[in-house]
Structure 1
Amino acid sequence: MSRPPLPPFDAVSAARKVRLAEDGWNSRDPARVALAYSEDSEWRNRSTFLTGRDAIVDFLTGKWQREQDYRLVKGLWAFSGNRIAVRFAYEWHDAEGGWWRSYGNENWEFAEDGTMRRRIASINDVAIAAADRLLLWPRDGRGDRRPDDHPGLEDLGL
């Protein structure tokens, strides 16, 4: 099963790939998200190293249990051939109700079928007040996609 858009990427297809990834992650559905990765996908997420879809599902299940009311915005940074670099920010709260904004960069490498075979993520967390949240859109229960008219990273100064 292929996962278009397929490499090599141009500006339009790379931007589309980034938005599809954002939409998937905002669903907070680990099994759905894992399908975008090759069966033997390799990850570095902060200091965690993973290999394979089962490990991705386990990792994301724990992540979204800890990171509640998660909302993510991704932005294309650069692309070449089968690689895409992304900036992102996401907001979430912990079990005690403390709000956080997490900033990061990801480097992606894709297989010919459009699945991601390598993901390298560097992420920093900053505590924020609930009143300082910027990633606000209503939850619709159908994937919780960021509306097209909601500002992106550059518009928000992130």
Structure 2
Amino acid sequence: MAISDDFKEQLKAGRIVDALTLALGEAVELEITTWVSSSKNSEATKSADSEKPAPDSRMRTRMNIVEGAIDTEVGSRFIGNGPYTELRQFHMEQVQQGRQIIQHNLENLQQLFTVLTSTLTHLPQASHRLGDGNSVLPPSNPENIQ
């Protein structure tokens, strides 16, 4: 199940703390990979191993906002006179877009926490139940979650 599906399930079940924990866990790191697949791998012969790019045929950048780290790996076919040097600029544009995505996600999480904090302060003290599945809010209607 995809992380977004897990998030929605947690919200539907009313486990807001679990949903937020899941969202925060995913919000700290972004990985961008640009790779050139081999033409010998046709759709009919793809396997789990053929889906993975060879180190010399990929560029990969990982950004971790908690550690403040950005790690970039550049395969040998993307440097010097390699056949894929023109893709370096494309990869760097994707990294820049990734930074913007992270910034946007952080702004959304900040707004979510603001709304959650405001909501929790307006709830009666008796409804702050964290015992059974750390649910603070009642389960939501599945049709309202997108």
Shorter-normalised TM-score: what interval? under 0.3
TM-score calculated relative to the size of structure 2: 0.26
Higher helix fraction (1 or 2): 2
Higher strand fraction (1 or 2): 1
Structure number with greater CO (CA < 8 Å, separation at least 6) is 2
Larger radius of gyration: 2
TM-score calculated relative to the size of structure 1: 0.25
